[in-house]
Amino acid sequence: MRKRNTQIPKGIYCYDENGLCPHWELRPDQPEQMNGYCHYLKRGDWEVPIPEDFPDGFPESILSLLWDQCKECGENMDMDDMDDMDVDSQ
């Protein structure tokens, strides 16, 4: 069964001009900048692996920024939003 994603905002963040994603929350029982939680993913920032779990090197791709409302579910992504980001390619 596919999860309902119609309420997930468009773009790369957990919010858009229509408001905040209903699946996102900050958990007061977790440390600051590790307290984002996504009910859609059923995962929080504190549940990602830690560097000690990877003796051969920590993969850079494992980072959770739910606390900062950065979308991690990949739903309703609009790559045109990437044009609005100030990325230094030098």
Query: How are beta strands 36-38 and 24-26 bridged, if at all?
Result: antiparallel
Taking 80 as the threshold, does the pLDDT of residue 48 lie above it? no
Opening angle at CA 82, ends 5 and 73, nearest 5 = 25
25 pLDDT exceeds 70? yes
Average pLDDT value for the chain: 81
Per the model's pLDDT, the better-predicted residue between 78 and 13 turns out to be 13
Distance separating alpha carbons of residues 60 and 82, to the nearest angstrom = 20
Give domain limits for the chain.
15-81
